[in-house]
Amino acid sequence: MDKLDQYRVFVQVAEMGSFIKAAHALDLPRATVSAAVQQLEEKVGARLLNRTTRQVHLTTDGTQLLERLRPLLAEAEEVEQLFQSSQRQVGGLLRIDVPSRIARRLIAPALPSLLRRYPRLQLMLGSTDRAIDLVQEGVDCAVRVGALHDSSLVARPLGRVALVNCASAAYLREHGQPQTPEDLMTGGHWAVGYASPTSGRELPWEVLDAAQGLQLLAPPSRVIVNNAESYIAACRAGMGLIQIPRFDVQQLLDRGELVELMPAHRAPAMPVSLLYPHRRQRSRRLLAFVEWFSALMAPHLEGG
């Protein structure tokens, strides 16, 4: 293993805090990863990592080296790819994480076109509604809907998705149609509760009012879920009203299975962003995916 590969192994271990996780991400034996770091430490003449039975921590020297290596490795990858054909040479494993509905409704059906364009590309598609640690999980890129909180990642805003209030036709036949946000609180209506996958707390409804601006409501709920698929399924079963990005339920609205309610009191549109760790921002396969997904998402954004 040459010095550049040892650098790559060290950075992976340092960022993931684990030899085992790094070995899995790099598709290398654990012993090879351990030996590479040990050889690097011998070459630089300093201990770079403190090992315990459960965790790996950077030493002061390791922290300094990590900061110098990140831009170096990004530059090295760009140089390696400089003279390669932009399509034929895009290849290797790309790990992405996206919300479950985007994975099922948008990405999975369109994957044949991506892989025809880049036949050497392999995609590991994770779909979850909880926020994950990209570095710890070894993920190259994540799609996020909503406000961003992790400033250590590179963010590429794509636009905003409109949200709608809706209920099933069966629910409306039984309970009637609410006309105002106040009806949700006093008119004998129910909402399907959505619990944050991170905190477990039920999230409030957001409604915009021309006179009062943004309001947060807590309509009563009999069913509380923590992922988008169950959220929509409960609504279709007549369990209550939901607030959800329009593209998630557009087909159900078109068929009349769900009905949009209170269009004058929608929640503010939600931003959609691509996130990736800084050191991976120039990967050719990542840039190829970003370009492809941006075009895939564009028709579903406001103004798209």
Residue 86 is assigned to a structural domain of this protein: no
- Does residue 150 sit in the same domain as residue 179? no
- Does residue 201 sit in the same domain as residue 121? no
The predicted-structure confidence for 140-186, as pLDDT tens digits, reads as follows: 899 998 888 766 778 889 999 999 999 999 999 999 999 988 898 88
Based on C-alpha coordinates, what's the Rg of the chain? 23
Q: Nearest Cα to 13, choosing from 2, 32, 75?
A: 32
Check which CATH number belongs to the domain holding 20 and give it: 1.10.10.10
- Does residue 215 sit in the same domain as residue 136? no
The predicted-structure confidence for 40-91, as pLDDT tens digits, reads as follows: 999 999 999 988 767 788 999 988 898 888 778 777 776 666 655 555 578 8
- Does residue 181 sit in the same domain as residue 261? yes
Mean pLDDT confidence for 179-206? 88
- Does residue 204 sit in the same domain as residue 282? no
Contacts of 54 (CB under 8 A, 6+ apart): none
- Does residue 254 sit in the same domain as residue 188? yes
Say if residue 243's pLDDT is above 50. Answer: yes
Place of tokens 């036709």: 169
Higher per-residue pLDDT: 80 or 93: 93
Q: Do 4 and 77 form a contact (C-beta atoms < 8 A)?
A: no
- Does residue 174 sit in the same domain as residue 133? no
Residue 225 structural domain: 163-268
pLDDT given for residue 280 in this prediction? 47
Name residue 85's amino acid.
S
- Does residue 17 sit in the same domain as residue 40? yes
Residue 36 is assigned to a structural domain of this protein: yes
Check which CATH number belongs to the domain holding 135 and give it: 3.40.190.10
Mean pLDDT confidence for 188-211? 87
- Does residue 77 sit in the same domain as residue 14? yes
Q: How many domains does the chain have?
A: 3
Residue 255 is assigned to a structural domain of this protein: yes
Least confident of 188-197, 209-218, 235-244: 209-218
Neighbours of 285 (CB within 10 A): 22
Regarding pTM above 0.85, the answer is: no
pLDDT given for residue 284 in this prediction? 81
- Which of 81, 106, 122 terminates a domain? The answer is 81
- Does residue 107 sit in the same domain as residue 191? no
CA–CA distances in Å: residue 34 to residues 55, 66, 72, 87, 156: 14, 17, 22, 35, 35
